[in-house]
Structure 1
Amino acid sequence: MLANFFGKSKPVNFIVLFALFLGYFTLSTFSKEFSLEILKELLWFIVVFSVFNFIIAKNKITFDNSYAFLFFVILIGFFTETININNTFYANLTVLLFLRKVYSLQTSKNTLHKIFDGGLWLGISFLIEPLTALFGLLLFASIYLHQRFTYQTLLTPLIGFFSPVFLYFTYCFWYDKTEDFNKLFNWSIDYNFELYLNNKYLLPMIFIGFFTIFALFLKTPKTLAVKNKFRKNWILILIHLVSATILVGLFNERKISELLFLFFPTAVVLTNGLEMIKKKLIVDIILILFLVLSFTSFFL
């Protein structure tokens, strides 16, 4: 049923998945009065969904289906606190725009432009959330895997990254706000994970973590055994997942919204694992489990 519907990428799937998001969104804002702020949140998430879907479809990091988009929405449903337009959200959006360039390096068209743009978006994201500079590893990994290291490919992302950073420094220097600029490099780390130990978040994390690890074990051996373009993409996805996990672990103020950084690689890994399962009945059961538990989490 669900496997047949989401097993193909069709325009109607986007409508259904946005309706699913509206269900999560309504439950999370049930006690709030309707306002322009709520409408703004909806519009911003349409932008996020569009960028996410573009990256998946354009770079073929999953098969031609809607599973990744479905998992992305369900992950938001598990942690509806991520439906919040704050600095973390804007940083995540700029990271998605950065990822567009990272994953598109598998083609040789306009390579230096893509590398510069990737560095530029990462620089903007750094100004919003300094810890996202860790994703620089992902850009250099993509260059190494899909292109090759030269002085141009090594310097271009740095030029792109430091362009907005330098402009911001100039602004701070001119208006005597250099303390604001210095704060970008003050990476205080909070090792208190008490918020994640709450049953409302711990149980979904264990459930999602289990299936993510299961998907990795299903997909990784067969993928690494074949030398092709997707093998390189899979290595990149694994680096992305590890980088995002470290980033979330280093956050100095935990609000759950930081988990947004994990949703992209997690959704892709889960999708690739699901694609390895041939029996549609098992796929249906897994998808129903995710859907039911995501709505159940509201009552934990």
Structure 2
Amino acid sequence: MIASIFSKSKPINFIIVFFITLLAFLLANLEDINKPIQLSNVLYLMVLFLASYISILMLDFIVSKNKLTQNNNYEILLYALFLVAIPLSLSSGNIIISNLFVLFGLRRLISLRTQKSMNKKLFDAAFWFAIAALFYFWSILFFVLILFTLLMYTDNKIKHWVIPFIGIATVFILAVSFSVLYYNNFFEVFKSLPITNLDFSTHNNLPFIIALTMLLSFGAWSSVFYIGEIKNKKKSFRPSFKIILFMVITSFAIVVLAPEKNGSEFLFLFSPLAIIITNYIETMEVNWFKDVFLAILVLVPFVLLFL
């Protein structure tokens, strides 16, 4: 039943995902919602929810445009379910905005497979990753994806290696200029600093452990099949699938390095993980097993709400 609903890309799927995302967002921001109603607070929450949902639409666009999955909507369903499983992933406004800009950068980076407008795409990818870093410093690690992509394409043109750094420099100059004009200070705008924290004790609660176990076990199992299937993809598409795999590794590094271990740091992990698990679901030939697999992913997040 579940598999058949999302097996094709349909408008109803986006409506379902919209309400699942709304539920996760409300759960993550209960404290703000319970505050006395103020227009500024309402607008702030609306902007964050809009950014959260646009991230899902951007994920679908990246996937469909670059044929990272077949013609279905499993990836957006999984992404929304991950949000419900770990609702605190939507508790940080900075990370929500940063994640959206990371997806903007990923869109430009994966489109390099066409080998057209390389200069512009490399600049755009670095530009968006740098803006993401203004909101959450450790998202700058996604800049490594650009270098990884250039290595895969064995690109020996010096200008292609220099352009991404120009993209970062551009954002830095714009940010400093804004800081001087608005704060009368050169570096006031750089509030996200390279702080680390390796204390995971805040995650020591049953619902979070169950959600994380489900996420990592399903992700790890699917990754084994995902890696094996890359060689069966068309040669021009293989780098795109490798970028998604490397993005998972980078996102996991951010989870480890995150200065605040409150669950919001896992948001970066959801997009690439949803793509990888969707690819595994597509390899399932037995319908009942596919339904059971998806049923677990659907039921567990909602059951955790009552723990």
TM-score, normalised by the number of residues in structure 2:
0.88
Equivalent residue, structure 2, for 1:149: 156
Which residue of structure 2 aligns with residue 13 of structure 1? 13
Q: Please give the alpha-carbon distance, in whole angstroms, between the structure 2 residues aligned to 1:72 and 1:149.
A: 36
Contact 1:105 1:146 in 2 (8 A): no
Aligned counterpart, 2:269: 262
> What's the offset of the Cα at 1:204?
0.9
Q: CA deviation at 1:145?
A: 2.4
2-side partners of 1:247 and 1:43: how far apart?
24
- How many residues are treated as equivalent by the alignment? 299
Is 1:177 matched up with 2:185?
yes
2: CA distance, partners of 1:227 / 1:148:
20
Shift of 1:172: 4.5
- The yes-or-no answer on 1:56 pairing with 2:75 is no
1:223 paired residue number: 230
Classify 1:118/1:11 alpha carbon distance in 2 versus 1 (closer, same or farther; 3 Å).
Answer: same
Aligned residues of 1:105 and 1:143 also touching (Cα < 8 A) = no
Between the aligned partners of 2:216 and 2:111, the Cα distance in structure 1 is 28
Q: 1:161 to 1:67 in 2, by over 3 A?
A: same
- Any residues of structure 2 matched to 1:61-80 within 5 Å, and which? 61-80=68-87
The one of 70, 81, 102 aligned to 2:109: 102
Alpha-carbon spacing, 1:41–1:116, altered in 2? closer, same or farther (3 Å) = closer
Query: Which amino acid is 1:159 matched to?
Result: I
Q: Which moved more, 1:121-130 or 1:169-178?
A: 169-178
Measure, in 2, the Cα distance between the counterparts of 1:41 and 1:179: 25
- Tell me how far 1:126 sits from its aligned partner: 1.8
Segment drifting more, 65-74 vs 51-60: 51-60
Once the two structures are overlaid, the 10-residue window that deviates more, 222-231 or 154-163, is 222-231
Q: Distance in 2 between matches of 1:205 and 1:73?
A: 15
Contact 2:51 2:96 in 1 (8 A): no
Structure 2 residue runs without a partner (length 5+): none
Local SS of the residue matching 2:305: helix
Is it true that 1:188 corresponds to 2:192 in the alignment? no
Instruction: Measure the CA separation in 2 of the matches of 1:7 and 1:182.
Output: 44
Distance in structure 2 (CA, Å) of the matches to 1:13 and 1:135: 30
What's the counterpart of residue 172 of structure 2?
165
Preserved contact between residue 145 and residue 246 of structure 2 (Cα < 8 Å): yes
Match for 2:149: what amino acid?
S
Deviation at 1:94, TM superposition (A): 1.0
Amino acid at match of 1:191: L
* Structure 1 CA distance for aligned equivalents of residues 47 and 186 of structure 2: 32
Deviations 1:88-144 (A, max 9, x none): 111111111111111111112212111111111112112222211111111122233
Contact 2:59 2:103 in 1 (8 A): yes
Query: In the alignment, is the contact (CA less than 8 A) between 2:108 and 2:125 conserved in 1?
Result: yes
Aligned to 2:131: 124
In the alignment, which of 275, 278, 291 is matched to residue 271 of structure 1? 278
Hey, what's the Cα distance between the residues in 2 that align with 1:22 and 1:167?
34
Match of 1:292 among 264, 286, 299: 299
Name the amino acid aligned to 2:272: P
Residues in 1 aligned to 2:245 and 2:48: alpha-carbon distance in whole angstroms: 30
Structure 1, gaps ≥5 residues long: none
TM-aligned CA deviation for residue 197 of structure 1: 2.4
Shift of 1:280: 1.4
Which of 211, 214, 219 is equivalent to 1:207? 214
In 2: Cα distance, 1:286 partner to 1:208 partner: 13
SS in 2 for 1:105: helix
Q: Tell me the distance in 2 between the aligned counterparts of 1:266 and 1:145.
A: 21
Q: 1:40 to 1:116 in 2, by over 3 A?
A: closer
Deviations 1:199-245 (A, max 9, x none): 12111111111111111122222323666233322221111110110
Distance across 2 between alignment mates of 1:123 and 1:111: 18
TM (normalized to structure 1)? 0.90
